[in-house]
Amino acid sequence: MKGQNLQSPTNREFRKREARHTILTLIHAQGAISQTGIAAKTKIRPGTIQMLVNELIDDRLVRKTGEGESRGGRRPTLLEVDPDHHFAIGLFAEEKKITGGLVNLKGTIVNFKELKNLNHKSQDEFVESAAEIVHELLHDFPGKEDLLGIGIGIPGLVDRKNGIGIRCNYYDWWKNIPVRSLLQDKIGATFYIENDTRTAAIGEKWYGKGKGIKNFLYISLGETVGMAIVINGDLYYGFGESAGELGHTIIQIDGDRCTCGNRGCAEAMASGTALKRKAGVLYREGVQSLIFDDIKQNKEITLDKIIDAVILNDKVAYNLISETGENIGIAVGNMVNILNPELIILDGSLMRAKDVLTESIVKSIKTHCFPKPAAEAKVLPSELGARSGILGASSLVTRQLFEMR
């Protein structure tokens, strides 16, 4: 049997594509770097670098940007990703809201749109809302031919390969919805689909606290509890792509009933939904709190009211948030014992009370976790906030440029 010809056109083409990818990825990661810098960080020959950089400039993926420091001789020309051409749209779907952004290759959201107070009754209504956001984003965008594609983070279980939303607890009708094909047929663009929590984690990995971190957990704390796992720089999906269901790990035997049917799940004990339910019990018991000031006007208890009360130093609200953090810390501590992450990123609507919540979570992790991994894991609030979902969704598209697949 003859060995493979390493000089065949196919192999040469692959090596060229691999080198081009390496150069573009390095420029993207560094922000600004010279050809000499590229040569120092790779094994690519200077002549090949020169040729491929010229190609990337011609393709409007890279541009020259000033000069670097001289180490003797001419100052080197710096290269950066070209932010003025090639855009992606990122959509992020929540229970009653869809946000969207037109994002350049540097991760800048150059146009933002939002639809709130949604109450989708069918897949057609969901598709119409997503299409409305896209059309608004593209309305004033002159370079539609420079749109690389559209990414969307959707709630619930997702079949990424086939673009299907398998199940979502927000909607009874959401069962095996062909989200990608419906959106592509409606909008006429290439779509990439991912679970919402993993989408936001990708945003953190590329542009947030997770940038440059190989092993981290992204925890979403809102009406529900979600988690994404990054191991060795890659999202971990598990055999059936259902890894990361932190909200359905049991933290108290015979605890409150969860929507999944079990008792004592983290989501039943420490989600925004659980927080509102516990506040409702206190109200019916006659407890006084700023949380309940509007209840007499037949207004419901909301997370915003609870968090507003925390900010105003309401003791009842403080205790509710603190208890929530303690319960989340038990669940996260179990993950720290198992996975030994370097970083835990906290995000979601509950993080408006980040000072109280983060302190409580950290204390609980240290209490319930083995000391060594607990000491090694940093716990930090996201700085991207609501942008993480949009940036992550747009990265579903742009990573086709920056990651070899």
- The answer to whether residues 397 and 301 belong to one domain is no
Tens digits of per-residue pLDDT, 352-403?
999 999 999 999 999 999 999 999 999 999 999 889 999 999 999 998 887 7
Residues (pLDDT < 50) of the chain are 1-6
Tens digits of per-residue pLDDT, 106-156?
999 999 999 998 989 999 999 999 999 999 998 877 666 689 999 999 998
Question: 12: which 2 tokens?
Answer: 């040469």
Asked, for residue 4, whether it belongs to a domain, the answer is no
Q: Which residues of 270-290 are buried (b: 16+ CB within 10 A; e: fewer)?
A: bbbbbbbebbeebbeeeeebb
Asked, for residue 2, whether it belongs to a domain, the answer is no
Dihedral sign, Cα of residue 52, residue 53, residue 54, residue 57: positive
- The answer to whether residues 292 and 338 belong to one domain is yes
Asked, for residue 317, whether it belongs to a domain, the answer is yes
In the prediction, which pLDDT does 169 show? Answer: 80
In the prediction, which pLDDT does 1 show? Answer: 37
- The answer to whether residues 215 and 336 belong to one domain is yes
- The answer to whether residues 255 and 396 belong to one domain is no
Where among 24, 53, 81 does a domain terminate?
81
* CATH code assigned at 152: 3.30.420.40
Range of the domain at 281: 211-383
- The answer to whether residues 298 and 244 belong to one domain is yes
Alpha-carbon gap, residue 3 to 83, rounded angstroms: 44
Given phi > 0 = left and psi -120 to 50 = alpha, else beta, which region is 24?
alpha
In the prediction, which pLDDT does 296 show? Answer: 65
- The answer to whether residues 110 and 186 belong to one domain is yes
In the prediction, which pLDDT does 3 show? Answer: 45
pTM of the model: 0.90
For residue 389, give the nearest of 115, 86, 89, 90 by alpha carbon.
90
- The answer to whether residues 341 and 247 belong to one domain is yes
Asked, for residue 396, whether it belongs to a domain, the answer is yes
